[in-house]
Amino acid sequence: MTDLTYIRVEWDNELAVVVVDRQDKLNALNAELISELGEVFDGLRADDNVRGVILTGAGEKAFVAGADIAELAKMDSLGGVRVSRHGQEVFRDIERFPKPVLAAVGGYALGGGCELALACHLRIASENARFGFPEVGLGIIPGYGGTIRLARLIGLGRAVELLLTADMVGAERAAEIGLVSAVVPRAELLERAKVLLRKVTKNGPVAVRMALESIYRGVDTSTSEALDFEASLFGLLASTEDLKEGMSAFLEKRKPDFKGR
């Protein structure tokens, strides 16, 4: 990994904590920061020691307060397509990441910040978190997958309302509408994120990966193709050591020791 300006990675055994750290701009996403995010996830993908990733923002105020408005203000039409494509690609790689990614949202998750959280597989929020899509108030729309992923997660009606009104919602409301799965005190955010993610990483790593594959492929394809794909992955898992270990452990009344193969 080259020297990073806006992202740092911390470790807790099998978990990597990716911290977006541009606090003077509430962690707003400029082009360089998005490239760094892509680079970091590429490195973590290839690292067999990583079983799960927590994505969070530095400081008490923001997860990510959106795309960098100062940068967006300068773009022309072709530049706009490039900006959108760049963010979409990096966020898509996060969504298709083969290990679970959890967004720990401790403050503002606005515009591109909310889109980033949506690209993660799991989301929890601190009590002070605020979610919203201010884009239409700036004369633009979300361009990093938000218009697509929001509706898939919380339903069309609620997504349309949030995207068109540009209203912000607090953490409790975000939990009510399914935008996050838990609301926790700010001081406990990271620890609670680790507890939730470890509920996933204690399971068979290949099975977790295949579940992600099946879920996200399923969202993008017809039911019959998705069912074919699910059956193939189900069959593939029958040849893994993890399946033998998981089932033997159950039958022998002990905890499984998964090797991820």
The minimum distance between CB 138 and ligand COA, in angstroms, equals 6
The minimum distance between CB 171 and ligand COA, in angstroms, equals 15
The radius of gyration computed from the CA coordinates of the chain, to the nearest angstrom, equals 19
Integer CA distances (angstroms), 211 to 57, 148, 208, 237, in order: 27, 21, 5, 10
Q: Is 157 exposed, middle or buried (0-12, 13-18, 19+ CB in 10 A)?
A: exposed
The minimum distance between CB 168 and ligand COA, in angstroms, equals 8
Closer to ligand COA by Cβ: residue 1 or 70: 70
The catalytically annotated residue of 10, 60, 115, 127 is 115
Strand order in the sheet with 15-20: 7-12, 15-20, 52-57, 101-105, 122-126, 182-184
The minimum distance between CB 195 and ligand COA, in angstroms, equals 28
Q: Is 14 a catalytic residue?
A: no
* Residue 218 in contact with ligand COA, rule: CB under 6 A: no
User: What residues from 9 to 68 belong to the interface with ligand COA (CB under 6 A)?
Assistant: 25-26, 28, 65-68
User: What residues from 83 to 142 belong to the interface with ligand COA (CB under 6 A)?
Assistant: 108, 110-111, 134-135, 138
Integer CA distances (angstroms), 138 to 30, 142, 161, 181, in order: 17, 11, 17, 29
Q: Is 135 a catalytic residue?
A: yes
User: What residues from 228 to 247 belong to the interface with ligand COA (CB under 6 A)?
Assistant: none
For residue 104, give the 3-state DSSP assignment.
strand
Positions touching ligand COA (CB under 6 A) are 25-26, 28, 65-70, 108, 110-111, 134-135, 138
Q: Which residues are tagged catalytic? A: 115, 135
